[in-house]
A and B are shown apart, each in its own frame.
Chain A
């Protein structure tokens, strides 16, 4: 039988990495088009190698040397913080209190910045393109790495690191393929809905594992994850409806 929590875990990591990949690909596209693809790819590949190394080294070390209850407490707390950050920002964007993430705008700004800098000798490595793509992929990927390690370690058997890594690879792979085909910023990706989904899932897993870590006994065991999912989902819908109305009313007053 397929474990329900493993499916939720896989979906959460795939969605989170797809969102972060969308943002990283915008930077890569801007760098590749304005400064050349060779150094951009080199920077991105080095960053991906660093991220994979962090997952393997840190993940393996934590599995062997840190007790499960301590892992769950720390991991649950981190996931809850990340989840609530994603969720609150997505709710604010959905209701109009925060501007939407515009990949075209970010792309234009990156292109303008990168175009100002002088180019080096043709054929030689472009250190700016290398640095920009390395930094972009590393920073956007760090949160995914934290999520992968957290999900991979906090499950009962502690053996979901591979499932979480596969989820991350799937998310990045799908977005990279789409970006390669359309060759422009992925502005039409429903990024905010994906962020809402990830925020809800991270909040649910974070709450569950943080509770288990400190000794809270959830009724129904792992199946309670679905109950938590329903509670957080319904609350999110309620908050979106309420704050959207509030925003519209405030706009009418200002108009």
Chain B
């Protein structure tokens, strides 16, 4: 194996490790958290809406993720 391909392999392994570590088998969850982050940022000047919507979105995300993992086939077919 050449030095260049060894370096490329190491870089790829590094990113794969972090992807597995942070996203794991729940890409929907990671994406959901990013969406909540954006919504919280957009609502940050509203003293009532910002905390309320952030909490609600987190609770919806927990419920949806549990539902999706419990019924993977139903979740896929309902998206079609």
Contact = CB atoms under 8 A, between A and B. Distances in A.
A95 B67 CA distance: 12
A211 interface: yes
A25 to B, nearest CB: 21
A211 B66 contact: no
A127 interface: no
A98 interface: yes
B70 A216 contact: no
A191 B24 CA distance: 20
B6 to A, nearest CB: 19
A91 interface: yes
Interface stretch (A33-41, A75-83, A148-156, A182-190): A75-83
B11 interface: no
Nearest to B21: A142
Nearest to B49: A216
Interface in A95-140: 95, 97-98
Given A77-B33, A81-B29, A214 B66 contact: no
Contact of B29 (A88, A98, A143, A247): A88
Contacts of B41: 214-215
Interface string A56-97: 000000000000000001000110110011011001100101
A235 interface: yes
B63 A211 contact: no
A228 interface: yes
Interface size class of A (residues with CB under 8 A): 35 or more
Given A84-B65, A88-B62, A92-B70, A210 B40 contact: yes
B70 A239 contact: no
Contact of A80 (B33, B59, B63, B65): B33
A193 interface: no
Interface of B: 21-22, 24, 26, 29-30, 32-34, 36-37, 40-41, 43-45, 47, 50-51, 54-55, 58-59, 61-63, 65-66, 69-70
Given A91-B66, A97-B69, A211-B51, 11 more contacts: A77-B34, A77-B37, A80-B58, A85-B26, A88-B69, A92-B66, A92-B69, A207-B58, A210-B37, A214-B40, A247-B70
Interface of A: 73, 77-78, 80-81, 84-85, 87-88, 91-92, 95, 97-98, 142-143, 203, 207, 210-211, 214-219, 224, 228, 231-232, 235-236, 239, 243, 246-247
25 contacts: A73-B37, A77-B33, A77-B34, A77-B37, A81-B33, A84-B58, A84-B65, A88-B26, A88-B29, A92-B66, A97-B70, A210-B36, A210-B40, A214-B44, A215-B41, A215-B44, A216-B50, A216-B51, A224-B51, A228-B55, A232-B58, A236-B62, A239-B62, A239-B66, A243-B70
